[in-house]
């Protein structure tokens, strides 16, 4: 089934912040944020066991309890098992550092085997309080978490998680499967294989106004050629695009800060928001099926919806292109 036939809209909800990403989010605030998304009409929710060691899934399950299950779509991820055991030492989160330091203290183990994949789905079903997952994604089998060992982890997933998820898809247990990663190389590698055959990808941070060159070179053309789809996560580049201090889950460099300032100067002249520029840029690529900005406050939902619907003049995109702030090959919302 094509990703566009599964997803109920172009704007989804990224649940990483519900796992206490970067800060200790009050329970009431987290639940109110999901409720605000629902009231806005958002019906696609992305999650993962990794987000706060199951905390994001638990909160989302609580927030969506009682909502008609046939009315919304859930994606979650496999590759990590959350144990009842309490972690006795700081977790190793790869390049992301301690972004979930405020999450649950449960130990999280990496396991891309077939058995672990089935267990991961079963555990997620319990935390999410649902009877099925629509889209299952193999999580973070890439360089940012495994360094030089990422290819061996990918091979483990190829023999285990990929086969398990393809079987579940073919049996109708899930509607689609693929990868959920922050790097383009795993997607390229999977698409080069004859088997298995994924349906969709969640690519976080690699198709944004601040960073899209590599994805344009191979990933987007390969996905479009195979009539698959990309879900763009992290469209605001960990907040850097909208004035936050972080890019790629770490303090933004001087070069990134300068690029944000250059884009914002043009946006300010045209009286448009940086969120509008970021979301509409990502969705202009025909390979992109949806964007899923993360939110931890109810007010952010209204901001994202307004950004999606704001009218952006063609001159804004012309100026960005003329200033070399977007790749010349990047599709834009209007012909320039």
Q: What is the mean pLDDT of residues 179-188?
A: 98
Q: Where are the beta strands (DSSP E) in the chain?
A: 13-14, 44-46, 73-78, 80-86, 106-110, 135-139, 176-181, 200-204, 229-233, 246-247, 250-251, 288-292
Let me know if residue 79 belongs to a domain: yes
Let me know if residue 331 belongs to a domain: no
- Is 77 one of the annotated active-site residues of the chain? yes
Let me know if residue 270 belongs to a domain: no
pLDDT in tens, 268-280: 999 999 999 999 9
Number of structural domains in the chain: 1
Contacts with 325 (C-beta within 8 Å, 6 or more apart), sequence order: 209, 259, 262, 263, 266
- Is 146 one of the annotated active-site residues of the chain? no
Q: What is the DSSP secondary-structure string of 230-245?
A: EEEE-TTGGGGGGT-S
Residue of 44, 72, 77, 111 marked catalytic: 77
Let me know if residue 115 belongs to a domain: yes
Report the predicted TM-score, pTM, of the whole model to 2 decimal places.
0.95
pLDDT at 334: 80
- Is 46 one of the annotated active-site residues of the chain? yes
Residue of 46, 123, 199, 304 marked catalytic: 46
Q: What CATH number does residue 185 fall under? A: 3.20.20.100
Let me know if residue 21 belongs to a domain: yes
Angular region, 279: left φ>0, alpha ψ -120 to 50, beta rest: alpha
pLDDT at 249: 83
pLDDT in tens, 34-84: 999 999 999 999 999 999 999 999 999 999 999 999 999 999 999 999 999
Let me know if residue 174 belongs to a domain: yes
pLDDT at 96: 43
Q: What is the mean pLDDT of residues 176-184?
A: 98
pLDDT in tens, 32-42: 999 999 999 99
Let me know if residue 259 belongs to a domain: no
Where in the sequence is the domain holding 188, given as residue range(s)? 7-251+275-314
Residue % of the chain over a pLDDT of 90: 93
């Amino acid at each position: 089934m094509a990703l566009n036939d599964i997803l109920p809209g172009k704007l989804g909800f990224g649940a990483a912040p519900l796992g206490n990403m970067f800060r200790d989010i009050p329970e009431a605030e987290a639940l109110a944020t999901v409720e605000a998304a629902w009231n806005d009409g958002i019906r696609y929710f992305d999650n993962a066991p990794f987000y706060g060691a199951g905390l994001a899934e638990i909160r989302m399950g609580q927030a969506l309890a009682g909502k008609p299950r046939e009315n919304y779509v859930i994606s979650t991820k496999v590759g990590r098992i959350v144990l009842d055991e309490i972690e006795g030492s700081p977790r190793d989160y790869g390049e992301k550092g301690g972004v979930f330091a405020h999450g649950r203290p449960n130990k999280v183990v990496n396991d891309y085997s077939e058995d672990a994949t089935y267990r991961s789905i079963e555990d997620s079903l319990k935390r999410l309080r649902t009877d099925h997952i629509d889209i299952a994604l193999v999580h973070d089998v890439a360089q940012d978490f495994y360094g030089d060992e990422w290819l061996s982890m990918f091979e483990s997933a190829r023999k285990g998680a990929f086969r398990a998820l393809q079987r579940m898809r073919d049996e109708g247990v899930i509607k689609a499967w693929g990868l959920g990663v922050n790097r383009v190389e795993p997607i390229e590698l999977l698409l080069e294989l004859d088997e298995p055959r994924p349906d969709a990808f969640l690519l976080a941070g690699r198709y944004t106004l601040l960073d899209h060159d590599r994805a344009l070179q191979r990933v987007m053309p390969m996905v479009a050629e195979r009539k698959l789809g990309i879900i763009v996560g992290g469209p605001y580049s960990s907040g850097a695009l909208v004035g936050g201090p972080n890019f790629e889950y770490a303090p933004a460099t001087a070069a990134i800060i300068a690029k944000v300032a250059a884009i914002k100067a043009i946006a300010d002249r045209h009286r448009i928001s940086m969120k509008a520029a970021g979301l509409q840029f990502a969705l202009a690529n025909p390979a992109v099926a949806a964007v899923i900005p993360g939110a931890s406050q109810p007010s952010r939902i209204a901001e994202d919806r307004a950004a999606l619907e704001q009218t952006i003049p063609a001159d804004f995109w012309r100026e960005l292109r003329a200033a070399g702030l977007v790749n010349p090959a990047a599709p834009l919302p209007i012909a320039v």
